[in-house]
Each structure stands twice: as C-alpha cells, then as structure tokens.
Amino acid sequence: MPDIGERKLATIRRVSKIDPIEGADRIVKATIDGWELVTQKTNYQVGDLCLYFEIDSFLPVRPEFEFLRDKCFKSVAGLGDGFRIKTMKMKGVVSQGLSLPLSDFFDKEDDGRYFYIAPETKWERERLERREWVEPTRVFLEEGMDVTDYLGVKKYEKPAAGNGGGSKLGPTHARGGFPDFLQKTDQERIQNCLSGVLKWIYYGAPVVTEVFNPVVIENLNLGRVENSAESYYFKSGDQWFHKAAVRNDDETIAKRQQFEVTLKLDGSSMTVYHNDYSYGVCSRNFDLKRDEASLFWQQAADGIIAALVVVGKNVALQGELMGPGIQGNREGFATNQFFAFDVYDIDQSRYMTPDERFGFLRNLQGIGCGIQHAPALAHDYVLTETTTVNDLLKIADRASFNNPIAEGVVFKSLVAGGPTFKVINNKFLLAEKD
C-alpha cells in the first residue's frame, strides 16, 4: 500500500468544470479534480489554475482570509487562531473546500506565470549578513504543486470526544512516538486519487521513444499535434520524444479492478503489534506505556496480545476501538470493542491482502482470540473506466451499526501493494460538530 505521506492541504489545481446554481446569480459550482465546491462566478473559467484548500485545512489569520471570519474563525489549542475549512451546504449544493485565485497570493511574471519567493536558506542568510548580494529564488507555480507549508496552513483535527486522557480511558502516556517499523493507518480521499487509481488499473509504466518520422516532426514544430494524459510529445534539445502509457493486458486489468469494501468506523485508531519477542499498543500517533487504566491496553490484554505471542509472527493488527467514552460512542455500544481492518506484516514491510488478512484473523480466532473484523460490504467490487467520484459517494451514503449515518467506506485492492482509498459520507461531514 503506497504511503501517502503528509496531507497536501493547499495545492495548485485546475478547474475542470463550472456549473450554474439554480437561483444564484453570483456563485457557481466548480469541479476541481474530484472535489465540488461553491465559488464566486467571476473567479475562474474552465481550465484556469487556482489555489485549492481541502476540507480540514486550518488557515492562518491574514487579510486574504478575513471574509471567512463570520463562519470559519476558531481558536484551537495547539494551532492558535485561524479559519477552519469544512464541508458546507450552500443553495442546496454540497461544497467541499475553498478555491481562490492565484493572484490573491502570488506575484506574476511578465510571461504570465505566477511565482513566490522561496524562504531564505542558511547559506543565503549568511551572505546577506555579510552584505553580499543574493538573487532571490523564484518558485514558479505548476499544477499539483503543494504550497501548504509556504502559506502556513495546518491540519485541523477535532478534539477527541472522551479519549484525550480522561478517566474512562486512563492516562495515555506515551513511551515513544509511533514505531518506525509500522505504517500509520490512513488512506487518501477518493476525490484526490480516483484518476491515479484508474491509471494504475488500466495502464502500466509509460514508454518513451524518439520521434524520427519527418511528417510527425513537422506537425509537432507547427503545433498541430494534440497531447493527452496517456500520450504526449515533448522536446529535449533538438530531438522530439513520444511518451505513452501502455495499456495493461486484460488479465492484469481484471485483477486490478477488484476491491474489497469495508465500513469506515468512527472510533479511535488502535494498533497492537508483536515484533521480535516484544509487543506493544499504539494510538494513532504514539506507542503507549502499559497502563491497566487505559482502554487501549485493556482491550489488547483481552486475548489479542496473547494470541499474537502464540502465533509468533511479526505483525501489527490495526483497527478501531469503539464504545463508551470514545468519540461520543456514536454507535451506542454498551462495552468497548475492537474492530480490525488491517494486518501489517512487519518482516515484509507491507499490508496483507484482504484474503491474507481474513486468513490470519481466522487463525487468531482458532486459538481463542475473539477478534472482530470491520464489517465487509463487498469482496470483489469492480472499478471501471467510467467509475466516478459520485458513484462511490453513493456507496458511502449508508447506515452504520446503530447510527443512520455511517462515516463512510474504505476500498482496498485485492492485489498486494495495490492502492487503497476512503470515501467519506457527505452526510457525516455535514453533520460533523466542532
């Protein structure tokens, strides 16, 4: 499973579609990659680049964001004052994220390209202290560029409901950060990755070839050849090259199309691991000290750790801890429960495939471990070239155990190392409280 790294909250993206909103004269619905949002009618045309802030962005206080103060301003411990971007509904349209023109934040070169001046390096500061001239480094903006750090945008995380070290969970003192031999449980949102997932299914690594055909070269020089995402020409020096994605064979496509779909649960992330005769329990960000008052350790000690020790394999069970005192206990469980959704093979540095995972959990159950798996909704859901974000949002729009609004669903490839992604229920996001 690919590591998505730190979330890119502020990026340079392209407007792919603009639709009118019934009864609205000054606003429109814009589509930016897989996201749909409400924006000012005069801001863009289709094809324009813009600055896009994802939901969960926490924007710093600065003049360009002051128009958000009435609805978005918050004071957050650890983040300070700022503006939270979240899912909203305007004129009957679900709006996710914020888009603003590049001209609001960046300077423009004579040739029309936007840029910013990169922060000074230590070497540059030393030269400036010696009163030596330093040419400022201009960073030109390109589609897909991450400007999160440059703009000072942080990730907003709602305060944990009941699991911030309160009496029901016990003191969650860490003995260290999240272990570096594990991966954190997180998936990219479908709005950011559907095109990449479909490309992985249907196309292999691109092939680059030199162009020698004089007719093609003449048309290229005259600008008569159109490029596409799958096939395009580029020039290096005096030589033209063609780069094309090669379509996978039917057997590979059929394997890569299939995904497991599980219910996404709204609890507290929990990891239990066994590694070279040692074991431990982790929250999302920390390896926790053993504490009998901690619900994490109570749950792990209830047969899970013992079973992992008996099996003797270096693995980590990752899942969701749910119940009284955890995230408001949306499901109304009477007791705390752990639902596994991943098994990480430490020795192979990879996640088990769905088939391997279910087989491993059956082995644990066979030696008396009462572990549960997150509810599986499908084992062979097929993604096609025509699958859209809205198709998958419809699957996420469902009930959970005891709550009419589930958080969403998670898709995982049946192929080892294949992509995974999450689809969050818009009704869940709209109902979310700060």
Q: Could you tell me the residue ranges of all domains in the chain? A: 10-106+141-155, 174-190+257-431
Q: Which residue has the tokens 């155990």?
A: 401
Going by their DSSP bridges, the two strands 337-345 and 372-373 should be labelled as parallel
Q: What is the predicted pLDDT for the residue at 354?
A: 96
DSSP string, 226-295: ---SSEEEEEETTEEEEEEEEEPPHHHHHHHTEEEEEEE--SEEEEEEEETTEEEEE-SSEEEPP-TT-H
Q: Model's pTM, two decimal places?
A: 0.86
In angstroms, the CA 103 to CA 42 distance is 13
The mean predicted confidence, pLDDT, of the chain is 90
10-106+141-155 matches 174-190+257-431 in fold: no
**Residue 326 contacts by C-beta under 8 Å, 6 or more apart in sequence?**
161, 162, 163, 169, 267, 268, 295, 336
CATH 3.30.470.30 corresponds to the domain 174-190+257-431: yes
In angstroms, the CA 49 to CA 425 distance is 28
Range among 2-16, 118-132, 173-187 with highest mean pLDDT value: 173-187
Evaluate whether 261 touches 411 at the Cβ level (below 8 Å). Answer: yes
Q: What is the predicted pLDDT for the residue at 227?
A: 85
Residue 1 has pLDDT above 70, yes or no: no
In angstroms, the CA 299 to CA 282 distance is 12
In angstroms, the CA 375 to CA 265 distance is 9
Question: What are the beta bridge partners of residue 319?
Answer: 270, 340
Q: Per-residue confidence at 130, pLDDT binned at 50, 70, 90?
A: confident
CATH of domain 10-106+141-155: 2.40.50
Residue 10 has pLDDT above 90, yes or no: yes
In angstroms, the CA 304 to CA 277 distance is 15
Residue 152 has pLDDT above 70, yes or no: yes
Reduce the DSSP state of residue 401 to 3 states and report it: coil
Q: Which secondary-structure segment (H or E) carries 316?
A: strand 315-322
Q: Indicate the length of the chain as a whole number.
A: 434
In angstroms, the CA 116 to CA 108 distance is 9
Going by their DSSP bridges, the two strands 49-53 and 98-100 should be labelled as antiparallel
pLDDT in tens, 307-330: 999 999 999 999 999 999 898 899
